[in-house]
């Protein structure tokens, strides 16, 4: 048997091992996107998350004006980094509603006092049922809702300063 034929199985095994090793160092995209983009916001009615800020119902997301729907928690470290960016979006004319995920009124009130409150309304989603209905897999997460209550865009993760122009452009686009 020729030398090349004897090396063929070794070459094949090295190729298989190399392929698996390459897949391990190049992980696939694990982002879970909502299947509700371009669909109506699911119906919900959430109680107020903190006193002094109105509760949130899905019907209030279809009043003719596009808005942001931000899912957040006072316990969420990236949400702290996102807070000043949301304040900036509000100053630039964005209308923002929030859903507090698995939060307490005391912790949420302290969070808003410390980091600002860009929200017109905040609903309390204690068991994440609305979060799951929206197809959200974590916080922070923000949806752009058009004036008819249709989800037009999903931003996964914290909104960063470099995202503001794009978010404002998308809001204007769905106006």
86-143 confidence digits (pLDDT tens): 999 999 999 999 999 999 999 999 999 999 999 999 999 999 999 999 988 889 999 9
Q: What is the pTM of this model?
A: 0.81
Give 144-172 pLDDT, tens digit per residue: 999 999 999 999 999 999 999 999 999 99
Domain boundaries, the chain: 45-173
Closest CA to 111 of 27, 31, 49: 49
Residues 45-173: name the CATH superfamily.
Answer: Glutaredoxin (3.40.30.10)
**What is the DSSP pairing of strand 56-57 with strand 45-46?**
antiparallel
């Amino acid at each position: 048997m020729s030398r090349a034929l004897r090396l063929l199985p070794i070459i094949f095994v090295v190729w298989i091992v190399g392929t698996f090793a390459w897949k391990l160092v190049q992980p696939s995209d694990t982002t879970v996107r909502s299947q509700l983009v371009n669909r109506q916001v699911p119906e919900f009615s959430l109680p107020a998350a903190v006193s002094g800020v109105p509760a949130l119902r899905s019907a209030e997301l279809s009043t003719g004006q596009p808005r942001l729907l931000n899912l957040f928690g006072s316990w969420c470290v990236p949400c702290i980094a996102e807070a000043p960016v949301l304040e900036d979006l509000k100053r630039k004319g964005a209308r923002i509603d929030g859903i507090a995920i698995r939060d307490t009124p005391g912790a949420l009130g302290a969070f808003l006092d410390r980091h600002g409150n860009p929200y017109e309304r905040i609903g309390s989603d204690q068991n994440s049922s609305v979060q799951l209905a929206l197809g959200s897999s974590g916080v922070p997460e923000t949806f752009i809702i058009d004036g008819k209550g249709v989800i037009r865009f999903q931003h996964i993760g914290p909104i960063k300063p470099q995202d503001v122009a794009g978010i404002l452009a998308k809001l204007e686009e769905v106006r």
